[in-house]
Structure 1
Amino acid sequence: MTEASGVITETAGNGGPVRVAVPRTWWQRHGTTTTVWVLRLALIAFVLVLWEIAGERWIDITFTSKPTDIVTRLVEWAADGTLWLHSWITVQEIVYGFLLGAVTGALAGFVLASLNLLYRVLDPFIMALYSIPKVALAPLFIVWFGIGMHMKVLLAAATVFFLVFLNTAAGVRDVDRGLVDAVRLMGGNRWDIARKVVLPASMTGVLTGLKVAIPYALIGAVIGELVASNRGLGYLINDAAAQFDTAGVFATLVVLSVIAAVLNVFVGLIDKRVNKWKPIND
């Protein structure tokens, strides 16, 4: 019998674990999470207040702006529609690029890592392509695809692809060979091994790749907008910087941070759902 996080795990007669809930107070169940969030909010409040005071007394706001000015700029952009128009364009580029890069990266990683010889042949070439700074690809992508949304989507996808591919391949190659041999002894074929062993065991690598790739999807899309665009949050950053509007630059960065946080929450929800198969830890 073991007890962790308010749940007692007992061994049933057939040897399997049985979870028995232990009555706990609200603070026992949510106290740690509440404390963490309170400390986070306190830290944010402290930094914002210090920033506001410093902007009034010690720092030239031409270079750092102030939280109140940033909020004012966000309200102005929201009122005239600027924020929603450019945010929607960037969100589309991020989401489409993330989905395209994630799906192709996961499939390629799963397939190639399952074919050991082919993976060993292609590995140095894949690493060479991965090592190319993605910002260096932007001019080439402009020549190939123009300056429309397609270019930003493909640049974001190219950035995401390698991160998801490498983590997926690592997850596939780290699968416990004992499990594979056990399925073979029970008469399982290659499809059974892939579906019942390799795929579930490699999901940790896939999800790690997805989490790591989220900010890079955003980076890829924004880089494309910074290089050549007249729409999107990257364009807003360029336009604000050209006018020495520091508040506008920071306001755009705040919006990008919110978008990244929302995508991280979404991937976290997928992580919880997919990893339900994992056994209970003693």
Structure 2
Amino acid sequence: MTSAPAARRARRAPRGTAAIVGVVALLGAWWLFSATAFVPAPGTTFTPVPDPWTVFATIASDGLPAYWPVFQVTISEALLGFAWGNAIALLLASVVLLIPKAETVVTQIAVVSYCLPVVAVGGIAVVVLPAAKRAGDLSATAIFLAALAVFFTTVVGALVGFKAADRASLDVVRVYGGSRLTQLRKVRLIAAAPAILNALQIAVPTAFLGAILGEYMGSIDQGVGITLIKLQGDLDSPRVWAVFLLTALVALLGYALLGLLSRIVTPWVAGARS
């Protein structure tokens, strides 16, 4: 009879194989697209979509330390926006539990924040929020858009998680004289932890994207967004795609780290999925 650990390893093996196959297929599609869709004009070598090997060679020749100052600024902005946006979202979701009639208002605020056009909001933020005054300063617009990008996901995830609390456990707290705040601390937070952590995991790449979009609005001299603008102006497509690739890797790393944290904090959910 197959043991439980062996069975779990057997189930995990296809996932790793699928990931490898997915990466190989993506690289193959990228190479095919660059080789067939964008052929350099006669007398030039410029192509807007370089093949993967050219991009990898560019990163290797430049070295990862050359890209770190660019990403350090954007990662800092994304982290600040991630913290502020999620803190406000979790606070409002908690208010709904203490004041149930506020759910409609909070939900409407979350939906409106999700539907706001980023270009318009970013343009207003550039005018209203203070601009970076020194080289290396963070962009207030990038932080704001990063916070705005994560707000809706976390509000919805937290509300769904809070409502997943076991009714019997809530009744026990109520019978012993516990208030709504006690129910929130003793029951709802534990029940909502998986949903909240999943929402935070999804919020990581969206916060990074929001920070990059905020840098596109200007008011900063360093960061992924402004670097992409400069490289596109120089028609340096290999480095543009190198920044694209590294951006995806940073977002994927953050997503994986939150996934690992989720497995550590909520081991009962990880065990149920195994």
If the TM-score is normalised by the length of the shorter chain, which range does it land in?
Answer: 0.7 to 0.9
Secondary structure of residue in 1 paired with 2:63: helix
Residues 35/243 of structure 1: CA separation in 2 closer, same or farther (3 Å cut):
same
1:189 deviates by: 3.7
Greater mean deviation of Cα atoms: 260-269 or 168-177:
168-177
Residues 53/185 of structure 1: CA separation in 2 closer, same or farther (3 Å cut):
closer
Which protein has the bigger strand share?
1
Alignment-derived partner of residue 48 in structure 1? 27
Alignment-derived partner of residue 141 in structure 1? 125
Alignment-derived partner of residue 273 in structure 1? 264
Tell whether the 8 Å contact from 1:172 to 1:201 is kept in structure 2 after alignment. yes
For 1:239 and 1:105, the matched residues in 2 are separated by 35
Residues 183/231 of structure 1: CA separation in 2 closer, same or farther (3 Å cut):
same
Alignment-derived partner of residue 194 in structure 1? 184
For 1:268 and 1:143, the matched residues in 2 are separated by 37
1:105 deviates by: 1.4
Count of residue pairs the alignment pairs up: 260
Alignment-derived partner of residue 221 in structure 1? 211
Residues 77-108 of structure 1 show CA distances to partners (whole Å, capped at 9, x for unaligned) of: 327x5411101111111122112212221122
Alignment-derived partner of residue 241 in structure 1? 232
2:255 to 237, 248, 264: 264
Secondary structure of residue in 1 paired with 2:151: helix
Alignment-derived partner of residue 43 in structure 2? none
1:167 deviates by: 1.6
Alignment-derived partner of residue 99 in structure 1? 83
Residues 19-76 of structure 1 show CA distances to partners (whole Å, capped at 9, x for unaligned) of: xxxxx55xx4423323332342244234435644664567426132111211122234
TM-score of the superposed pair, with normalisation by structure 2: 0.82
For 2:246 and 2:205, the matched residues in 1 are separated by 13
- 5+ residue gaps, structure 1, are 8-23
Give, as a single letter, the amino acid of the residue that structure 1 aligns with 2:260.
Answer: L
Tell whether the 8 Å contact from 2:126 to 2:217 is kept in structure 1 after alignment. no
Percent identity over paired residues: 22
TM-score of the superposed pair, with normalisation by structure 1: 0.80
Residues 6/110 of structure 1: CA separation in 2 closer, same or farther (3 Å cut):
farther
* RMSD across aligned positions (CA): 2.9
Alignment-derived partner of residue 196 in structure 2? 206
Matching of residue 75 in structure 1 with residue 60 in structure 2: yes
For 2:248 and 2:30, the matched residues in 1 are separated by 18
Residues 71/274 of structure 1: CA separation in 2 closer, same or farther (3 Å cut):
same
